[in-house]
A = this chain, B = another copy of it.
Amino acid sequence: MLARVSSTPAFKRLPRAVREQQMLDAAVKVFSRRGFHAASMDEIADDAGISKPMVYAYLGTKEELFVACLHREGTRMMQAIAGAAAPDLPADERLWRGLRAFFGFVGAHRDGWAVLYRQARGEQPFAGELAAMRARMVEVVAGMLDHALRAEGREVAEAELEVVAYALVGATESLADWLADHAEADPEKTATRMMNVAWVGAAQLLQGTTWRPPAA
């Protein structure tokens, strides 16, 4: 009773950073499987093999925990893309590599994608977080378009560019959703398709082709 031997198994008392990653892994998994609301802190703690108070101590509130997931997965995704699409490549090459990296990431981390987008879109507390992430992507895409246009000596109002970029990002997310839902689908092929859609549109823009509403 008194002389408790101190030889706890070697894999306990892990350093904080490791524990946090375990928790985030569990959280991403559970959030992804159940959705934000249906996910319970109990299940997350269980899944992480840790007691609930620990989760609170390390990662705070359920909302904060979710945001942490968002951050980690979002950062990973951004890094994957940034690592693939070097800024000194020509625009179409950059776009293609970026898309390939993106769909590759989604295909490999379907859980992460579900957390990032499908959950976050619906729950208001995270609309801001998500909007910020999306804004970054829109900005990147718009930058690419702008760069390509300028190289051709053309110029388009920033607002217009942004909307087009927004649409392209939307289309991409939509295909990513589809990819996440189809376990058998091939990320590479999906990227090719999206590239096709995007590039033919962009090519048109490069040539100045525009559609105008008919005179009412």
Which residues of A line the B interface, CB within 8 A?
34-38, 92-93, 96, 118-119, 121-124, 160, 163-164, 166-175, 177-178, 190, 192-197, 199-201, 203-205, 209-214
Contacts and interface: CB of A to CB of B under 8 A. Distances in A.
A166 B170 contact: no
Nearest to A200: B204
Contacts of A172: 167, 170
Contacts of A177: 170
B209 A200 contact: yes
Contacts of A209: 200, 203
A31 to B, nearest CB: 11
Nearest to A204: B200
Contacts of A122: 35-36, 118-119, 121-123
A166 B174 contact: yes
A172 to B, nearest CB: 8
A210 to B, nearest CB: 6
Contacts of A213: 96, 192, 195
